[in-house]
Amino acid sequence: AGGEQMKSQKQINEEIEFFRLLQIRGMLKLEKAGMTHSSGLRIRPKVNKEFGLKPKDSYDKFIEAVQAAIDKHIEKKRAI
């Protein structure tokens, strides 16, 4: 076993959260371009409270808020 260490549950949870943010950002970009989920549902109403946004805020504002959260994860990872 060559120096590989097990990831802690905290590290795994942080990676899952990072991936979830990337998914949300991608879904917002697709919706902005006019695409919707096959169910017809949109992502903005599901995440507006999480990011402190209003349901009627622009896609750009939603994308900026999600990108800021992504950037925080990246900065935290770099600081390690």
Per-residue pLDDT at 63: 97
| DSSP class of 3 | S
Mean residue pLDDT of the chain comes to 90
Q: Quickly state the pLDDT bin for 4 (edges 50, 70, 90).
A: low
Nearest to 62 by CA among 18, 32, 38, 20: 32
Q: Are the C-beta atoms of residues 48 and 57 closer than 8 Å to each other?
A: yes
pTM above 0.75, yes or no: yes
Structure confidence by residue, pLDDT tens digits, 11-42? 999 999 999 999 999 999 999 999 988 888 88
Q: Name the phi and psi angles at 25, rounded to 5.
A: -60, -45
Per-residue pLDDT at 24: 96
